[in-house]
Structure 1
Amino acid sequence: MKALRASVLYFSGPAQAVLESDGLLVVGPNAQGRQVVQAVGSYAGLAPRFADVPVEHFPGRIIAPGFVDMHLHYPQLDVIGSPAEGLLPWLENYTFPHEKRFASPEYSSQVAAFFIAELLRNGVTTALAFATSHPESVHALFAEAQKNQLRLITGKVLMDQHSPDGVRDDTGQSLADTEALIQRWHGVDRLGYAITPRFVPSCSAAQLRGAGELAAKYPDVWIQSHVAENKDEIAWVRALYPEARSYLSVYEQFGLLRPRAVYAHCIHFSDEDRALMRATGAAAAVSPTSNLFLGSGFFDYVGADRAGFQYGLASDVGGGTSFSPFHTMLAAYYVGREGQTKTGVSLSPQHLWWQHTAGAARALGLAGVIGNLLPGCEADFVVLNPQATPLLARKTAQAASLDELLFALIVLGDDRVIEKTVISQAGS
């Protein structure tokens, strides 16, 4: 075992943060040999109990749970910040042409290495990511995550129609490849598989039906896709499925709504859609920088909370504009203020932080495993420097409450705040 002394941030309940100003985090191996939290609390209260455990001291620093990114695209690393009039032109002009390159194992591996390093540099310790339609891209990303012992969920993109040559796949082969990838990678170390239809327009009914059959056969894998992001996209789905009640209901029709099903965006929802999300246990990946950048719209926090379905934050790189959880949390605050209600909502700093850590973990079906620093959680954490920049140091020094401290970090923070990212190790 080892102990770390610093200010320690964790969650005692939903959006209820605790900061031990002089805290102690004790980590050690569980029965499987992976490092987990053994104890957390005040230094004065815990030090006598762990007097024989070596202590590493981080004066002036904050130890916090590693961030959880619920939706991003590793093949879009190099299309981040590309100008476009909206989602569909952006896909056509930038994303699809670039994704063709991931048929190459060498290219996939090179991008995967940079992508994983960038996640860790920004304090992200768990990610649910899209690969491409090429199995080579999936193997490369899983291998790189395994090397770094990162908790990662990904999958081969399914897209057998309305897609250009080079990224369009064959229906039968795509489903066979998906099952082979599940059997090869799901549950290995900290890796999980996600059945990944890109979105309804890119998948034939046969492919969506096959994805639903695989989801039923492998109930502990994840499902990930996009829904109700853009009005042009919604109109396209309506033309393809004129009898469907809504875009979301198409996924229900094919058995793709259930716990561990994560749908990015969920912007243009009706109350019936929100009720369906709750009833099926599906979760939303809220992607504020992407939605603002592409002009897609605003996630309705009030509607989501009224219905009671699960959601968490996501960078959505490369439609999203930053890997930084601080930038994502700040954009979520903007979205809440603008919102889809007359007055908007002012999301509390603790709620924003929760959405990117323990709340996102809960939405992924991983509550109590990641995203928090309570006993039993895997020891994924970040060491934050609240003096990382002169302005941030000036502001955090004046913080009179936990909300003021967290909000200063959200508004003024970036990758410079992440002094160290620690991943739960196995066999140590």
Structure 2
Amino acid sequence: MVTPPIDAANTPSSIQILRGEMLDFADGLRHWPDGLLLIRNGRIEALGHASDLLPQIAPDQLVESFTGLLLPGFIDTHIHYPQTGIIASHGEQLLDWLNRYTFPREMAFANPQLAAEEANFFLDQLARNGTTTAVVYPTVHPVSVDALCNAAQARHQTILTGKVMMDRFAPPELLDTPDSAYHDSKALIERWHGQGRLKYVLTPRFAPTSSPEQLTRVGQLRREHPEVYLQTHLSENLKEVAWVKELYPKAKDYLDVYDHYGLLGERSLFGHCIHLSDREWQQMAASGSVIAFCPTSNLFLGSGLFDLERCHREQIRLSLATDVGGGTSFSLLTTLGEAYKVARLQGADLNPQQAFYQITLGNARALGLEQQIGSLEPGKYADLVLLDTAATPLLNKRCQLAETLEEKLFALMFLGGEQAIAATWVAGQRLYARKTV
């Protein structure tokens, strides 16, 4: 059983020195069997082998030892915090699932108290699963953004979010207008973007629920605020693709709808992208846009299999995400296991080094945040996760028989999950530690 180190002050301004087995993927797999990590003011100051760094440590400085594997904190690039309470709702396909479960639940987030409670519960779930950064969908209500940003700021956490925009094909309680979406988003950008570690994301839910007039306003916001991000959904479900064709008959395809309004680019994240045409694959690559691959929701809703091999072949920027609550787990370890299965069903592979790179430095690079998070390099935030390879008897047995570190990582993808998270830190502050006996 892992015993997480106890933080001396448990604040971002504390000085901490952690000693144990560490790894990251900054230059392939980097591994320190007995590493030393110095954290000062919430950032990594030094990293190396304990034998090299211990002589430089003052005799009275506390060095906190741990067992397990210490990695950079995990990064989730597509997740819906209002859907936390409807995770594992009996399966429907996408459009039915939205109407039956998602929209009724999202109506409740007009209540600021409920939104605040849900935001804190959601961030607690991220920490329990080793996720330290996330790109998050709230609801159409500005108070849902305020609640999440307030909770994240109190934790010194990197959260990227922005109010959902949709002005049609949803219950009246969830509709905005092109003008209100513009003005509310502009006010939220001014209030939250760049505050602490927060980033704002323009969030038209998807093309069917935004009229041409609203997408025009989204494009205007993007031109006025090129520093912010954009997220939406693309080609998740065949019925959805056909619906978009009916609503936007002049567009070449689904992606062309977003392209027409100037929504593609290096800070644009498109969830799912399962049913892309050849032209769409090529345009995704040419625009530098990012795909958020969401395997558990794609399987749960029966949406289809994402073509991971083609994504790599087309050299499209890729990220991996849980997509809770269509996704069935907050755990990016579990998500990696499902991504592997999706790849294998199409004759491709996802090896453990590629997998763990993706949910750490790979996702950081997809967000353009690799100078701040994603690896254990000095100067970056001390966002960390401690994995317990003995979390369950079965995982322990498999890891004891593993001949390489890569075999242990592979086992964690299938036998780990939430129970393998021993502790999670954000900016040097321990947000979660599993109770030990």
TM-score with structure 2 setting the length = 0.92
Task: Give the Cα–Cα distance (whole angstroms) in 2 for the partners of residues 397 and 281 of structure 1.
Answer: 42
Aligned with 2:402 (options 399, 411, 417):
399
* Alignment partner of 1:377 is 2:389: no
| Aligned partner letter, 2:26 | S
CA contact (8 A) 1:286 1:314 kept: yes
* Alignment partner of 1:28 is 2:44: no
Task: Give the Cα–Cα distance (whole angstroms) in 2 for the partners of residues 355 and 68 of structure 1.
Answer: 9
Residue number in structure 1 paired with 2:211: 204
Matches within 5 A, 1:14-93: 16-29=28-41, 35-51=42-58, 54-93=61-100
CA contact (8 A) 2:201 2:228 kept: yes
Secondary structure of the 2:242 match is helix
Stretches (4+) displaced over 6 A: none
Residue number in structure 2 paired with 1:416: 419
Matches within 5 A, 1:78-227: 78-227=85-234
Residue number in structure 2 paired with 1:346: 349
* Alignment partner of 1:257 is 2:267: no
| Aligned partner letter, 1:28 | R
Secondary structure of the 1:356 match is helix
| Aligned partner letter, 2:195 | V
Residue number in structure 2 paired with 1:11: 25
Task: Give the Cα–Cα distance (whole angstroms) in 1 for the partners of residues 180 and 271 of structure 2.
Answer: 25
Segments of 5+ residues of structure 1 without an aligned counterpart are 30-34
| Offset from partner CA, 1:363-422 (integer Å, 9 cap, x none) | 011112111111222110011211111111111112211210100111100212111111
CA contact (8 A) 1:229 1:296 kept: yes
After TM superposition, give the deviation of residue 69 of structure 1 in Å: 0.4
Residue number in structure 2 paired with 1:328: 335
After TM superposition, give the deviation of residue 201 of structure 1 in Å: 0.2
CA contact (8 A) 1:2 1:53 kept: no
When structure 1 is superposed on structure 2, of 50-59 and 362-371 the one drifting more is 50-59
Secondary structure of the 1:274 match is helix
CA contact (8 A) 1:333 1:346 kept: yes
Give the share of equivalent positions with the same residue, in percent: 44
CA contact (8 A) 1:75 1:99 kept: yes
Secondary structure of the 2:250 match is coil
Segments of 5+ residues of structure 2 without an aligned counterpart are 1-14, 430-437
TM-score with structure 1 setting the length = 0.94
After TM superposition, give the deviation of residue 278 of structure 1 in Å: 2.1
When structure 1 is superposed on structure 2, of 269-278 and 53-62 the one drifting more is 53-62
Task: Give the Cα–Cα distance (whole angstroms) in 1 for the partners of residues 64 and 342 of structure 2.
Answer: 38
Residue number in structure 2 paired with 1:288: 295
CA contact (8 A) 1:4 1:55 kept: no
Number of matched pairs: 415
After TM superposition, give the deviation of residue 288 of structure 1 in Å: 0.4
Task: Give the Cα–Cα distance (whole angstroms) in 1 for the partners of residues 54 and 199 of structure 2.
Answer: 37
Give the alignment's Cα RMSD to 1 decimal.
1.4
